[in-house]
Chain A
Amino acid sequence: MTAPLLKVENLRIELTTRDGVAPVIDDLSFELGAGESISFVGESGCGKSMTALGIMGLLPEKVGRVASGSINFAGEELSTATEKRMREIRGNDISMIFQEPMTSLNPVYTVGEQIAEVLRAHQNLSKAAAWASAIELLDAVRIPNAQRRVSDYPFQMSGGQRQRVMIAIALACKPKILIADEPTTALDVTIQAQIFDLLNDMKRQTGAAIIMITHDMGAVAEMAERMIVMYAGRNAEQGPVEQIIERPRHPYSKGLIACVPHIMATLTEERRELTEVAGIVPSLREFGKNRCLFASRCNMVTQKCLDKRPPEVAFEGQQMSACWHAEAV
């Protein structure tokens, strides 16, 4: 087996807030192979974005830091890399598409200028060559009339178009890993379908690995080969997407799948009540405690769950669940 492109081991990221220091990411390990796609799922506040920012070296200044563990990218340790080196990595190897396209584009520059700037910073292109490349990229992300739209300002574009510009910028440096943090949450499903299609195409063409963060199991099923279900900063379950959807081994993954009214192949008159997962994600203050953090919402909870953090149990086919009663789920 070849070494994975990205190997995260026992990662712990701490945030310092008014309430003290809390592990927003608590002992997280996973691997990503070249050209592979993996999804992070979970409700908001579970630490999905923090994981992404941790990998990118973009944790909130003075607030967040990698406390222990390792983030290894192609043999190089990123958690201790200098800011200068991280800037290079971000420009050339790992790029990210953020949740809100409007806030991540600069309103006072045209989209062409913004793409060209990235190209020039990382690829030593002349002004004219960068501009030509920017048009090509806009064309590649299927902005109609790229030649003309390259001179548009972000506000002149629709949400879907802005997100496509963000993808163009993220792809400008031909990254080996593309991290997409809820890239379609604010968009209509027809636009989402376009973006997914585009990402899959790009993946095929450039061989980039994709980390997609989402709360939509349907999107996971469509976009990823493996998934990591996160809960309160921890890995709840990990494994091949189809396998987990068919046979989740953690009550939280099971709940996430069952609480959503999915559209099935054929609709019938019957509509059963949605399975409820009572309660909400705990606040950061609860993170890191030595017990199962899902216990207050779990209908399989026993004393053991309250006394000690559950270890990760391995199942056939690379599936892993952090639950004391995983066998019984």
Chain B
Amino acid sequence: MSDDPEVLLDVKDLTVRFGVKRGGLFGEPKYLYAVDDISFQIKRGKTLAIVGESGSGKTTAALAVARLVEAYKGTVDLDGTDFLTLEDEDLRQARAKMQFIFQDPYSSLNPRVRAEKIVREPLDNLESGAKEDRQQIVDKLFEAVGLHPEQQRLFPHQFSGGQRQRIGIARALATQPDLIICDEPVSALDVAVQAQILNLLRKLQTDFGLTFLFISHDLGVVQHMCDTIVVMYMGKVVEYADRLSLFNNPLHPYTVALLSAVPSVDKKRRAEMKRILIPGDPPDPLDLPKGCRFANRCPVAIERCKTEQPILNEVALGHQVACHLVDERAVSPLS
């Protein structure tokens, strides 16, 4: 348990593995470590983002935090209670404190249920308060997310993508959670609608004191939304830093390459930014290399990288990096 009362969510050594059968009928069961021993903390009212390429384990980590997939190892401390060991009624109550917003506003809402019921359902499930009170909460939520009262009676298909995402947000807010996990909440939306939803999320954060775990592969969005960033690569945290440190002084070669790959409208950035292309593809998650998982694509890899896995090391205040070539001088090996 975290000693810091400011910390709402404290994730330690979280590991998730999936059993994958391989090699014929009698083949040894193999395990895919989608999330491999990761730790991070989120302070109350703040936003932590997880970034990384497709398949790096972002969604799996978030699902494990919410107990929507089973963790193989590790602890998830939510506001002083060990969330992963709770049972029955305690779990139900704690669940209400942690809600999920999904990527796809098209498939995450039940098409046969009216909007008002979708939003009210989490309250009904908790059986909290009288029915009229619940309806009042729903009215307030519709207003808070910018939907009209008369839209309560409509079905999901009668809403646009952005409006559907608003319904998902209202539903997530219903139980007055402390923590909201947003998994790619705007990637399915057009840019103009993205802006509407991002502004809404930030406003709700201030109004309700929400804490966000925010997953996105769009670094522009991440930069705008978060206070702290976790960069994942093949199930591992490779860099963990506050927003300004990460964007202005990225240290891990993967992070540097990732940031350099983002196309920008800013002329100055385009002129200054040296693009680091990382050739090839990430390794097979079922057949990970012994050393650094980034070694086969890393432009500065040395012999040691092939044999020894780098561990996450605090190289500057609040800035952790897992790379053999980054030390307390906090200089990127690519600079």
Contacts and interface: CB of A to CB of B under 8 A. Distances in A.
A160 B281 contact: yes
B53 A190 contact: yes
A88 interface: no
A221 B198 CA distance: 23
Nearest to B261: A193
A263 B219 contact: yes
A222 B275 CA distance: 12
15 contacts: A188-B53, A189-B261, A190-B53, A190-B258, A193-B275, A197-B275, A221-B270, A255-B192, A260-B191, A267-B223, A267-B244, A267-B248, A271-B224, A274-B199, A277-B192
Given A267-B244, A276-B195, 12 more contacts: A189-B217, A193-B261, A216-B191, A218-B220, A222-B263, A245-B265, A255-B192, A259-B191, A261-B225, A271-B224, A276-B192, A276-B196
Contacts of B247: 263, 267
Contacts of B244: 267-269
Contacts of B223: 261, 263, 267
Interface of B: 53-54, 160, 162, 190-196, 198-199, 202, 217, 219-221, 223-225, 243-244, 247-248, 257-270, 272-273, 275, 277-281
B262 A189 contact: yes
Nearest to A269: B244
Interface in A198-239: 215-219, 221-223
Contacts of A245: 265
B190 to A, nearest CB: 4
Interface in A250-269: 255-257, 259-269
A153 to B, nearest CB: 17
B190 A261 contact: no
B203 to A, nearest CB: 8
A94 B96 CA distance: 56
A267 B243 contact: yes
Nearest to A186: B54
Given A193-B277, A265-B272, A221 B217 contact: no
Contact of B266 (A197, A219, A265): A265
Nearest to B269: A265
B224 A215 contact: no
A142 interface: yes
B217 A188 contact: yes
A281 interface: yes
B198 A261 contact: yes
A277 B189 CA distance: 13
Contact of B195 (A193, A263, A275): A275
Contact of B199 (A161, A188, A215, A276): A276
Query: Of B190, B199, B202, B223, which is in contact with the most chain A CB atoms at under 10 Å from its CB?
Result: B190
Interface residues of A, number: 51
Nearest to A273: B199
A188 B191 contact: no
B270 A266 contact: no
Nearest to A258: B195
Given A189-B261, A222-B263, A262-B264, A280 B190 contact: yes
A261 B53 contact: no
Contact of B263 (A216, A256, A268, A280): A216
Contact of B194 (A44, A192, A193, A259): A259
Query: Of B195, B257, B259, which is in contact with the most chain A CB atoms at under 10 Å from its CB?
Result: B195
B160 to A, nearest CB: 5
A194 interface: yes
Given A43-B192, A263-B223, A266-B248, A197 B270 contact: no
Contacts of A197: 275, 277
Nearest to A192: B261
A274 B272 CA distance: 25
Nearest to B190: A43
The 4 closest A-B pairs by CB, nearest first: A261-B224, A218-B263, A193-B261, A259-B195
Contacts of B193: 280
A280 B54 contact: no
B237 to A, nearest CB: 18
Contacts of B195: 259-260, 274-277
A215 B202 contact: no
A30 interface: no
B262 A256 contact: no
Nearest to A264: B266
A259 B220 CA distance: 11
A278 interface: yes
A271 B191 CA distance: 18
Contact of A189 (B190, B258, B272): B258
Contacts of B243: 267
